[in-house]
Amino acid sequence: MKKKLLLESLQNLFSKFVIFNYFCRELLLGGDKIIDVFVSDAWLKENDWLTWPALPWTAGAVGAFILGYQLNGIRLGLLGGIGALYIAVFGNLGALLFKLSLLF
Protein backbone atom coordinates (compact mmCIF):
# COMPACT_ATOMS: atom_id res chain seq x y z
CA MET A 1 0.00 0.00 0.00
CA LYS A 2 2.80 2.43 0.88
CA LYS A 3 4.69 1.58 -2.32
CA LYS A 4 1.62 2.26 -4.42
CA LEU A 5 1.05 5.59 -2.70
CA LEU A 6 4.71 6.53 -3.16
CA LEU A 7 4.60 5.52 -6.82
CA GLU A 8 1.47 7.57 -7.47
CA SER A 9 2.88 10.61 -5.70
CA LEU A 10 6.14 10.37 -7.67
CA GLN A 11 4.23 10.06 -10.94
CA ASN A 12 2.18 13.10 -10.02
CA LEU A 13 5.31 15.07 -9.14
CA PHE A 14 7.11 14.12 -12.35
CA SER A 15 4.09 14.94 -14.51
CA LYS A 16 3.94 18.41 -12.96
CA PHE A 17 7.67 18.81 -13.55
CA VAL A 18 7.29 17.82 -17.20
CA ILE A 19 4.50 20.36 -17.65
CA PHE A 20 6.63 23.06 -16.01
CA ASN A 21 9.61 22.13 -18.19
CA TYR A 22 7.47 22.31 -21.33
CA PHE A 23 6.12 25.68 -20.23
CA CYS A 24 9.64 27.07 -19.69
CA ARG A 25 10.76 25.71 -23.06
CA GLU A 26 7.88 27.44 -24.80
CA LEU A 27 8.62 30.69 -22.99
CA LEU A 28 12.23 30.62 -24.15
CA LEU A 29 11.50 29.62 -27.74
CA GLY A 30 8.46 31.84 -28.12
CA GLY A 31 5.56 31.20 -30.42
CA ASP A 32 1.82 30.80 -30.34
CA LYS A 33 1.65 27.60 -28.31
CA ILE A 34 2.20 29.42 -25.04
CA ILE A 35 -0.49 31.97 -25.88
CA ASP A 36 -2.95 29.16 -26.74
CA VAL A 37 -2.83 28.08 -23.13
CA PHE A 38 -4.32 31.37 -21.97
CA VAL A 39 -6.66 32.33 -24.82
CA SER A 40 -8.81 30.40 -27.29
CA ASP A 41 -7.53 29.45 -30.72
CA ALA A 42 -10.32 31.34 -32.51
CA TRP A 43 -9.51 34.55 -30.65
CA LEU A 44 -5.82 34.13 -31.47
CA LYS A 45 -6.55 33.76 -35.19
CA GLU A 46 -8.59 36.97 -35.16
CA ASN A 47 -5.86 38.95 -33.38
CA ASP A 48 -2.62 38.51 -35.26
CA TRP A 49 -0.91 41.22 -33.22
CA LEU A 50 -0.63 38.94 -30.18
CA THR A 51 2.70 37.10 -30.43
CA TRP A 52 5.33 35.92 -28.00
CA PRO A 53 8.84 36.62 -29.29
CA ALA A 54 11.68 34.24 -28.54
CA LEU A 55 14.30 35.15 -25.96
CA PRO A 56 17.33 36.73 -27.70
CA TRP A 57 20.49 34.64 -27.51
CA THR A 58 22.42 37.55 -26.04
CA ALA A 59 20.03 37.70 -23.09
CA GLY A 60 20.47 33.96 -22.55
CA ALA A 61 24.26 34.20 -22.58
CA VAL A 62 24.33 37.20 -20.25
CA GLY A 63 21.79 35.53 -17.96
CA ALA A 64 23.93 32.38 -17.76
CA PHE A 65 27.00 34.48 -16.97
CA ILE A 66 25.24 36.46 -14.24
CA LEU A 67 23.76 33.34 -12.68
CA GLY A 68 27.14 31.58 -12.68
CA TYR A 69 28.88 34.64 -11.28
CA GLN A 70 26.37 34.96 -8.45
CA LEU A 71 26.60 31.27 -7.60
CA ASN A 72 30.35 30.68 -7.62
CA GLY A 73 32.33 33.61 -8.99
CA ILE A 74 33.95 34.59 -12.25
CA ARG A 75 35.05 31.11 -13.36
CA LEU A 76 31.57 29.59 -13.25
CA GLY A 77 30.18 32.77 -14.80
CA LEU A 78 32.58 32.50 -17.72
CA LEU A 79 31.82 28.81 -18.15
CA GLY A 80 28.06 29.47 -18.22
CA GLY A 81 28.35 32.50 -20.48
CA ILE A 82 30.72 30.86 -22.96
CA GLY A 83 28.62 27.69 -22.96
CA ALA A 84 25.44 29.64 -23.67
CA LEU A 85 27.24 31.67 -26.33
CA TYR A 86 28.47 28.47 -28.01
CA ILE A 87 24.96 27.01 -28.03
CA ALA A 88 23.51 30.23 -29.42
CA VAL A 89 26.12 30.84 -32.12
CA PHE A 90 25.82 27.35 -33.58
CA GLY A 91 22.02 27.42 -33.42
CA ASN A 92 21.48 24.49 -31.10
CA LEU A 93 19.10 26.12 -28.62
CA GLY A 94 15.99 24.41 -29.97
CA ALA A 95 17.67 21.00 -30.03
CA LEU A 96 19.10 21.53 -26.54
CA LEU A 97 15.74 22.47 -25.04
CA PHE A 98 14.09 19.51 -26.76
CA LYS A 99 16.68 17.11 -25.32
CA LEU A 100 16.32 18.65 -21.88
CA SER A 101 12.57 18.24 -22.03
CA LEU A 102 13.04 14.57 -22.93
CA LEU A 103 15.39 14.09 -19.99
CA PHE A 104 13.03 15.56 -17.46
Q: Please check whether residues 37 and 82 belong to one and the same domain.
A: no
Cβ-Cβ contacts under 8 Å for 68 (sequence gap 6 or more) = 76, 77, 78, 79, 80, 81
Q: What is the pLDDT of residue 34?
A: 67
Q: What is the pLDDT of residue 104?
A: 59
Q: Please check whether residues 25 and 65 belong to one and the same domain.
A: no
Of 15, 34, 54, which residue constitutes the final position of a domain? Answer: 54
Q: Please check whether residues 33 and 73 belong to one and the same domain.
A: no
Q: What is the pLDDT of residue 92?
A: 78
Predicted TM-score (pTM) of this structure: 0.56
| Parent domain of 35 | 1-54
- Number of structural domains the chain divides into: 2
Q: Please check whether residues 24 and 37 belong to one and the same domain.
A: yes
Q: Please check whether residues 22 and 60 belong to one and the same domain.
A: no
